[in-house]
Amino acid sequence: MHKSMFRTMGFALRGGHGVWSARVVRSIALAGWICLGLLPGMVFAQGRRPAAKDGGPTVLKDLAYGRDRKYQRLNLSLPDRQNGPVPLVIWIHGGAWVTGDKDEDNPAEALVAEGFAVASIDYRPATLAPYPAQLEDCQNALAWLRSTAKKHRIDPERVGVWGHSAGGHLATMLAMTVGSGQRSGVQAACDWSGPVDLLRFAEDAAEENRKASIEMMWRLYLGPAADNLKLRDSFSSSARQKLLQSGSPMAYLPEKMPPLLVMHGDQDRMVSVRQSRRFVGRLEQLGAPIQYIEMPGIGHDPRESPVAMKRVVSFFRNHLDLPEPPLDRDSGPWHKEAEEGTMVGKTRSVAQAKASDGRKVGFIDSADSTLEFQVRVAEPGLWTLRVQFANGTSGRKEATHQLTINEQPAQGLRYPFTGWDVWQTLELQVELQSGVNTLRFGKGEQSAELDWIELTAADGEPSPASADSDAVPPPERADSAEVLPPE
């Protein structure tokens, strides 16, 4: 190998002003790890969870999945459940592949209350062992969890993986590659703000973080030898390219891959959103099962978005086959914002809706638009459906849409003109069957927004069990909203 590659990168490292010392380089690298890797205290507050109470979730700590007593360990949280086995979601922490640990508070723990088992895993940092040691540890943790699935009442065929930043990179690699002697291990994967095109990671970085990004890549691939400038200089341009591609999800793109949810804030200064845009674009061209949510105004931590967690829960419920608990007559109200529904056909979101305080809400704008929700009901019967809506069509015309519930005859809904800055609530009685019910709003003659829908017992009175619900109470119903006779 020759020196052309290092000369190319060396200018970025030295700024064209002479050779920097190894100490200065290490200082830049540390700054990069702090900025781009997000040390645990910057994103996920440190803290250890107490042991579970009787009847609640069970937390098993420091389980060994490998020989390394410090890093090849995981925590396993098991939900309180009467029936099993349950699906598993593996959480992989971030930290520029050099910091962070399994004991940080993390968003995946919220899945335990939803009925999932959650494993938070540690892996060897790049300062100890270069890549692919980190991916191998994740693969081994997955294999160990599968081997002990029966003992922990986990379903080995319903496994998801989720990670943030460097953890998002590893989660994506785990979903797209197979370790030696191992089968592809996951049925769904979620990437929060992870670097997925390492060949262009530094190029995509914000100007103030570019030097640190270069250092981070060297640290990942060379490990403890990353400060050896002569070693770096020995890599040719083609060798460097091959090295960076070896750990880049962008370079794999398999024919068959599990469903992948990618979430990235468009104001991320740590990992550029261009990484996800380019990656998702390639996957979409291949027809891969990809779902991409780009969050306007959100930085490196997707939890800044009020809907990020809801989207992740819905994604894993859907792809790991864990339906929402059935609604019974004492558990309501069931409350869903429109953006949590499945948008089908010609639909879009309206970011400028004044009445929704800037939130994006479901928008039905033509005869071929539909907005679809699903709800599970324990027993058949009548329920009160409330729909919060607004419309502002040209010519001050009212909007009409059809509501179809399962195979029942469609009901016509008429929304009088309100203007986009006024919400009204439509209330009607609906008949639901036991099990899953599909509520489909569509076939609109004029445009209308649906902000949220809510189901309560048919008498309209919330039960004592629902008094603590976090559902938003509906505003006073507008007298002018009408329900048309069924077709």
Listed range (138-147, 288-297, 475-484) with the worst mean pLDDT:
475-484
* Better-predicted residue by pLDDT, 14 or 308: 308
Chain mean pLDDT for the chain: 78
Residue 480 has pLDDT above 90, yes or no: no
Give the Å distances, CA to CA, from 175 to 65, 139, 210, 271, 383.
Answer: 19, 10, 28, 20, 41
Asked if omega into 85 is within 30° of 0 (cis), the reply is: yes
* Better-predicted residue by pLDDT, 12 or 180: 180
Count other C-beta atoms under 10 Å from residue 487's C-beta. Answer: 9
What is the rounded average pLDDT of the residues 312-340?
Answer: 83
- Report the pLDDT value the prediction gives residue 334, as an integer from 0 to 100: 83
Asked if omega into 132 is within 30° of 0 (cis), the reply is: yes
Q: Could you report the per-residue pLDDT of 157-202, keeping only the tens digit for each?
A: 999 999 999 999 999 999 988 644 444 579 999 999 999 999 999 9
From 361, 307, 333, select the one nearest 454 (Cα to Cα). 333
What ranges make up the beta strands (E) of 173-271?
188-192, 260-265
User: What does the alpha-carbon distance between residue 283 and residue 254 come to, in Å, rounded to a whole number?
Assistant: 9
* Better-predicted residue by pLDDT, 282 or 80: 282
- Report the pLDDT value the prediction gives residue 36, as an integer from 0 to 100: 41
User: What does the alpha-carbon distance between residue 438 and residue 384 come to, in Å, rounded to a whole number?
Assistant: 15
- Report the pLDDT value the prediction gives residue 54, as an integer from 0 to 100: 47
What CATH code would you report for 40-197+248-319?
3.40.50.1820
- Report the pLDDT value the prediction gives residue 368, as an integer from 0 to 100: 63
Listed range (11-15, 353-357, 401-405, 445-449) with the worst mean pLDDT:
11-15
Q: Could you report the per-residue pLDDT of 347-374, keeping only the tens digit for each?
A: 444 444 433 443 444 566 555 667 778 8
- Report the pLDDT value the prediction gives residue 248, as an integer from 0 to 100: 96
Q: Could you report the per-residue pLDDT of 99-131, keeping only the tens digit for each?
A: 999 999 999 999 999 999 999 999 999 999 999
* Better-predicted residue by pLDDT, 183 or 380: 380
Give the Å distances, CA to CA, from 82 to 68, 78, 85, 379.
Answer: 35, 12, 10, 20
Residue 364 near residue 447, CB atoms below 8 Å:
yes
What is the rounded average pLDDT of the residues 75-79?
Answer: 96
Annotated domain spans of the chain: 40-197+248-319, 334-483
User: What does the alpha-carbon distance between residue 103 and residue 317 come to, in Å, rounded to a whole number?
Assistant: 25
- Report the pLDDT value the prediction gives residue 233, as an integer from 0 to 100: 94
Residue 317 has pLDDT above 80, yes or no: yes
* Better-predicted residue by pLDDT, 476 or 221: 221
Confidence of residue 302 (pLDDT cuts 50, 70, 90): very high
What CATH code would you report for 334-483?
2.60.120.260
What percent of the chain lies above the pLDDT cut of 70? 71
SS3 478: coil
Residue 12 has pLDDT above 70, yes or no: no
Question: Which of 300-304, 418-422, 447-451 has the largest mean confidence?
Answer: 300-304
Q: DSSP per residue over 88-140, as a string?
A: EEEEE--STTTS--TTS--GGGGGGGGT-EEEEE----TTTS-TTHHHHHHHH
- Report the pLDDT value the prediction gives residue 75, as an integer from 0 to 100: 98
**Per-residue burial over 402-412, b = 16 or more CB atoms within 10 Å of its CB, e = otherwise:** bbbbeeeebbe
Confidence of residue 144 (pLDDT cuts 50, 70, 90): very high
- Report the pLDDT value the prediction gives residue 50, as an integer from 0 to 100: 41
Count other C-beta atoms under 10 Å from residue 353's C-beta. Answer: 20
What is the rounded average pLDDT of the residues 201-210?
Answer: 92
SS3 427: strand
